[in-house]
Amino acid sequence: MQSNQVDYLHGKLFPMILRFSIPAAISLLITAIYNIVDRMFVGNVNGTSALAGLSVCFPLSYMMMAFGLMCSAGGSTFFSLFSGQGETRRMHKAFGNAFVLVCAFEVLLTVFLLVLADPLLVLFGVTDTAYPYAIAYYRIVALGCLFQGLSQLFCDFVRVSGKPVLGMCVTGIGAVTNIILDAVFIVGLDWGVVGAATATVLGQMLSAGFGAFLVFSGRTMVRVSPAIFRPEKHLSLNILSCGFAFWVAQMAMGFISLVYNSQLGRYGGDIAISVYAVVSSIMTFVIMPASGISQGIQPILGNNYGSGHPRRVMQTFWLATGLSVGVTCVIWLLVLFFPRQILAAFGGTEEMFAIGVPGLRFNFCITPVLGFVMLATTFFQSINRPVPSVLISLLRQVVFLVPFLYLLPLALEVNGIFFAQPISDLLATVLSAVLVLREQRRMMAAHAAR
């Protein structure tokens, strides 16, 4: 089936990487843009406290994505592996089981978030001035969990079916809708953070609806029947195990947002938290090309690994690494040279400039290495070796980072908080290089022994 659409096993690698990565990167960039537009509108129209209210809700976004990504990434990985092995029945089962898992986890998450709204916002580090904005945004966005998870699931399965442009459209349609509705709701109707949240959920609903149309109308490699939705314990556990690294990465980012908000509130108040809203938005924008390339190479890695072509697996990885680091460098330079202009776009004041200009430069000083770290995580997930992938994510986002977030401010105050991330990223880069090179030797040795 896969050979009728994309020649993963014999096609030229670099054009194939571009074919899959560019649409995925564009889709993620559009998503990053609408997240930034949310904050730009709110920061300019409603002020610093409203922007801080959105910022303290960052962990909510990460939690929503964590469960969706765990199921969609794990399911689409097995879809590619089974495709490489020619096992079409199991391919369709991978989608059906992933779909059921997404629905179950996201519905439970919605209930959990709504029942514990106030305790969670306190845990997230909300201030008294930001609370009214945060709770209004939080309650609406929590209702979108299911649509967020399903849009991610459909996007991944459309993409690994050999239709990356349509995969881009799944998220792109929702993102463009969100941007348009932001202007209508926030500026035109003066709904503030309620408008931002409503636009976000409506965009997610449209993405999920379009993705469902593509998959259930037979426009992908998935062949839908009632049988594929019957949960299969072993397959479901494998999907969760394979995608667990993405769950760890997203939940860790949510936890880190919590730590950031707590420390920034302590050392700089709402102004510093607002700066972090900008830093997080721009960081999302910077790493989206790397994320797109990571998503783009997943079906290439999975099909070639499943078919026993380790040399093509590694060629794909190293070509994608060069592309990822190169693209990230371009955006990284813009951030280093124009931090004041970036902050001004979010309604920056002189107080924000004082913290934010050095904060942006410190936080982004070695950002290009993230292209390699993110690809390493996807590499291990794509070949169904989740342990190294989880290890990289957990160490980078928690074990390395958290101690620096508490120790560096003791000497450098608020600037120390922004120095913590690049130090953690540097350590994660070294770890990733060691693990990838060791895996490369293992695969080549196993192939030579056949």
- Output 256 or 270, whichever has higher pLDDT: 256
Q: Give the pLDDT of residue 48.
A: 67
pLDDT in tens, 93-104: 999 999 999 999
Question: Distance of CA 154 to CAs 13, 15, 64, Å?
Answer: 25, 24, 16
Q: Is the pLDDT of residue 53 over 80?
A: no
Report phi then psi at 214, rounded to 5.
-65, -45
Q: Are 192 and 186 in contact (CB under 8 A)?
A: yes
Q: What Rg value do the Cα atoms of the chain yield, rounded? A: 21
Q: State the average pLDDT over residues 332-337.
A: 83
Q: How confident is the model at residue 107 (pLDDT cuts 50, 70, 90)?
A: very high
Residue 86, number of CB atoms within 10 A of its CB: 13
- Compute the distance between CA of residue 40 and CA of residue 55 in angstroms, rounded to an integer: 12
User: 112-121, 132-141, 254-263: lowest mean pLDDT where?
Assistant: 254-263
- Compute the distance between CA of residue 284 and CA of residue 267 in angstroms, rounded to an integer: 24
Question: Distance of CA 429 to CAs 10, 242, 253, 291, 361, Å?
Answer: 31, 22, 17, 16, 19
pLDDT in tens, 147-176: 989 998 998 899 888 787 888 888 889 888
